[in-house]
Amino acid sequence: MDFYPAGEKGVQRIRILGIDPGLRITGFGVIDKTGNKLAYVGSGCIKTLDGELPSRLKSIMDHLNEVIAQHRPDQVAVEQVFVNVNPKSTLMLGQARGAAICTAVLNNLVVAEYTALQIKQAVVGKGHAKKEQVQDMVMRLLQLAGSPSADAADALACAICHAHGGLGLGGISTAGYRMKRGRLV
C-alpha cells in the first residue's frame, strides 16, 4: 500500500486484484482505490488449453503469478462458486477457484470472497443484474473507453465490490452474509 499526500492527512492507495475464476477462462482485473476514487489499472483473461486438469490449473496459477508480479496488488477479491446444475462443472470451477486462491495466498495476499449477488449489488445496485448491465457499470465506474470482455468485467466488478467494502449501493454491508430471495441472511 502506498500513501499519497493530501493536505495534512495522507490518502492511502490500495491496489485490488479481482478474479473471476473459470477452468476454461479466468478473468482478472486490477484497480486502485485512493480515498473514494477508483482507477483502472489493467484487466484480461487467462485462457487454458484443453487437456488434463493438473496442467490447466498450473496454467491458471502461472498466469496469475505473472499478473501479481506485474501489478503488485495489496489485496485480492475472488468470486465465490455458485452451485450449478451440473455437479461435475461445479467441482471443476471450484478447483480453478482453489488454484486462484492458493496463488494469492502463496504470494502473501489477503483474500476476500464475494457471491455474484453481492458483486452485482455493489456494482449495479441490484443482485440479479444481467452481465451486460455489469459490463456497462464497470465501464462507467472506471471511466473506460471501451467495454471489457465479460470475464474481465466480472473480475473488475469483484474488485469494485471489495473496494466498496462489500457494500451495496444502499450502504448495507453484505460481507459475511448470503442473499436469499433478495434479503440478507
Residues tagged active-site:
20, 79, 151
SS3 call for 156:
helix
Q: Consult the annotation and say whether 52 binds a ligand.
A: no
Nearest to 66 by CA among 41, 94, 103, 33: 103
For cell 502463496, the residue is: 106
Instruction: Spell out the residues 6+ positions from residue 36 whose beta carbon is closer than 8 angstroms to its own.
Output: none
Buried b / exposed e over 118-144, threshold 16 CB at 10 Å, is bbbbbbbeebebeeeebbbbbbebbee
Q: Consult the annotation and say whether 2 binds a ligand.
A: no
Q: Cα dist. 82→66, 90, 102, 115, 168 in Å?
A: 27, 7, 19, 8, 19
Q: Consult the annotation and say whether 20 binds a ligand.
A: yes
User: Across the strands, what pairs with 27?
Assistant: 20, 45
Helix (H) or strand (E) holding 47: strand 37-47
**Cα distance between residue 121 and residue 85, in whole Å:** 23
Residue list, annotated binding site = 20, 79, 151
Residue list, annotated binding site for Mg(2+) = 20, 79, 151
